[in-house]
Structure 1
């Protein structure tokens, strides 16, 4: 038995039929590298062998009586791989459009909470002989880093090699009874006020420092200061998905020439793509779009408990700046300030405060928030979520099949119906976009602008290199 952390549990409480809190992935595979050839039965059996000893794949939720505390994880003694790995075939002609339409449909289906919170859909017939695995894992189970670690348990460096990350042995333990769960919940509720008191002083200090940074112009962008767009409102449960590929070497060249970071370049490209997308629709706001950027605090966290060890910072994407180089420079400076500001925040602050999320109250509040369509009435908190996830720099094999592409897709929220995740993989950068279908029906139009925007930025960098250095010379002495 393992109690969910407050942050893990909050993703359960945030979930509604429209606001689904699972993380998806599209893994395109070349089955021709599999030593024994591809069959669905063989692939499913191989997955079962590798997940049976990994608790994250074999545990399910158990609610606490009266909702007095966060749920606990218990071992699923009736774990059945057939409930988690499914087989589908793409309709003809089995191309990009058929794949993304099917993926959008699957992304809009909730996970069954009576079982371990993950699924894989093995999709055959993509571009003739390719296989695609569409995976879903609930955010209560994984964040970006822990999700990548779980995927690595299913991958290897050679077609017939052992997995990269051997999973820990599963420890089923005892099944807690009603009285034990109730007793633990009462004890947790009794000690919660003491934890709140301990959090107040550092939180007040942080607020004072934030005010000081704001006056000095070095604070990160503030929430509730985003302009309104067509994808900032109440969402439905329908999803639209689009994917594209970029050359990692192009991004690195720009980074090196400008003295910026890969993340700066990725955000600048996203800002340019969003700017042109909105401008062509006559929807470009005068002020810049504001993105929430998840940040892993796994290395800095003092907590050993919980699957999610993340924080977030707010970043303006420079959609109000036409020149791509000026946008990149402006964003690089703003990101440095945001990172310094974020570093001053305790790595565990979000997890600490999430412990006070009340299961019943939180869930009712989310439903009321959507039912009253409040996202359309108050100032916009943020326009979208955008993540930059470092992936494997070398070829990987999923059950012996070489991974050709790996697209990550995060959840969308009421008030921010767009999520962009950029993930590197073996010299490429894969862009995955997921949106509420009603808020952004043509996600392809947006994703196709990413390669074009990267090319525009690279051309601007090359053009400026021929006239003047982009980086200031180091100060001597």
Structure 2
């Protein structure tokens, strides 16, 4: 049987812990017009979607969680239950589109059917139209989701930025770094010593990281409007910046693309806290930063393969350059501390513990009022070139993250072709300023680009 991993099942438990949340992830593709005939187009897309086994399967659960939920074929599968058509009210502007996206994403998927939906959206301004793909987080993480969405393109799977991340390269070259077979017995002692030393060092690093992650989750953050109960309604917005601009900043300051993105997010959250009358402090914004542990040879696998880091984003600093350098230092420290390794080990270990124990533990933990983490920022590498679907160019792809566990906002960062796109989901009642958050991110990158021009070579 094809069972859910403990991490996959954890997303179901987290959703069950709060009737106000829906743990579905989404990808919004905005496409040049005109829209083709719906019936013909839907038939073609359905054929591509249903190549993925998860999209024709349902979950079968077991009494008392005696074994993990398993994927089984849905005998009454009907693709018309999942492919829908909608039209935006005139003038079909971005506000109307994002209001529709929020409405779709806030509703839970029906667990009696395969856990996905596909919406064709007409009536966008400038003669454009859109496709919104929605699937439950128990099916896939961000990279796997984008891999499936890129499978809708005319070329099949598109070349992705995901192949360049560290975990992907390490998995692809997994044999590199392993000791080669040596027939000289004199070398075995040294090899055994090095292996034991490296194993002890890795265990120590992971233990240190586990302590930091645990402390980050359990230690309450200062009271903030960013953390607390959520309603059942959502808001959505997005920001777009040029990858060329991000590259200029990266090269000028010797940082990563992720550093630049998180620095821009830092500046926007700082402005939000000030706007809300709250004092930004050093420990105000502990942020959940998922880290992929997916290798390139597992790109086609529909599941979740992530660890995490929990850095404080430096909202206490006002200067954009100081924010960028602080983000770089703190992420480097989090990487060196073993947080990523600890998360990966915990996930792997949970899969060998009898499922009833892990299921009950996750259920108990997700019901607790989580106060340590106040924001989510997840980076999802997307296709390197513009996709085409049924001959139409996909001009933009916008990620749509969920919110849960007391987090009132969530930001997903997607690299697509020549853009870096930020999708921002917020609680309708307590995060009404998601548009301001989006504009703050764009302004943050603009400030960093300006500073990069003045930076010494």
Q: Does 1:250 align with 2:245?
A: yes
Which runs of 5 or more structure 2 residues have no equivalent in the other structure?
160-199
Alignment of 1:306-345 (within 5 A): 307-342=303-338, 344-345=341-342
For residue 18 of structure 1, the aligned residue among 17, 20, 24 is: 20
- Asked whether the 8 Å contact 1:220–1:313 carries over to 2, the reply is no
Residues 352 and 208 of structure 1, relative CA distance in 2, 3 Å threshold: closer
Q: What residue in structure 2 maps to residue 114 of structure 1?
A: 112
- Asked whether the 8 Å contact 2:290–2:309 carries over to 1, the reply is yes
- Asked whether the 8 Å contact 2:209–2:341 carries over to 1, the reply is no
Alignment of 1:356-435 (within 5 A): 356=353, 358=356, 361=360, 365=364, 368-369=367-368, 374-375=369-370, 380-435=371-426
CA distance in 1, matches of 2:300, 2:400: 26
- How many angstroms does 1:436 deviate by? 1.3
Alignment of 1:142-161 (within 5 A): 142-156=140-154
Q: Per-residue displacement from partner, 1:210-252 (whole Å, max 9, x unpaired)?
A: 49x98xxxx9993335333212001122111011211111110
Residues 346 and 412 of structure 1, relative CA distance in 2, 3 Å threshold: closer
Which runs of 5 or more structure 1 residues have no equivalent in the other structure?
157-161, 167-200, 470-477
Residues 31 and 419 of structure 1, relative CA distance in 2, 3 Å threshold: same
Alignment of 1:194-273 (within 5 A): 205=204, 208-210=207-209, 222-223=216-217, 224=219, 226-273=221-268
| Cα RMSD (Å) | 2.9
- Decide which moves more: 326-335 or 245-254: 326-335
Q: Does 1:297 align with 2:293?
A: yes
As a proportion of its length, which structure holds more helix? 2
2:411 partner SS: strand
CA distance in 2, matches of 1:304, 1:50: 14
CA distance in 2, matches of 1:226, 1:301: 39
CA distance in 1, matches of 2:289, 2:441: 18
Q: Per-residue displacement from partner, 1:304-343 (whole Å, max 9, x unpaired)?
A: 9871111111122111111111111111121112122235
CA distance in 2, matches of 1:256, 1:203: 32
Alignment of 1:79-228 (within 5 A): 79-156=77-154, 162-164=155-157, 205=204, 208-210=207-209, 222-223=216-217, 224=219, 226-228=221-223
Compute the TM-score of the two structures, normalised by the length of structure 1: 0.79
- Decide which moves more: 340-349 or 395-404: 340-349
- How many angstroms does 1:148 deviate by? 1.4
Matched residues, number: 410
- Asked whether the 8 Å contact 2:10–2:359 carries over to 1, the reply is no
Residues 301 and 311 of structure 1, relative CA distance in 2, 3 Å threshold: farther
Residues 443 and 165 of structure 1, relative CA distance in 2, 3 Å threshold: closer
CA distance in 1, matches of 2:312, 2:64: 42
2:445 partner SS: helix
Residues 347 and 253 of structure 1, relative CA distance in 2, 3 Å threshold: same
CA distance in 2, matches of 1:47, 1:366: 39
For residue 271 of structure 2, the aligned residue among 245, 263, 276 is: 276
Compute the TM-score of the two structures, normalised by the length of structure 2: 0.82
Q: Per-residue displacement from partner, 1:434-474 (whole Å, max 9, x unpaired)?
A: 011122022111111111111112212223x2xx45xxxxx
CA distance in 2, matches of 1:39, 1:366: 48
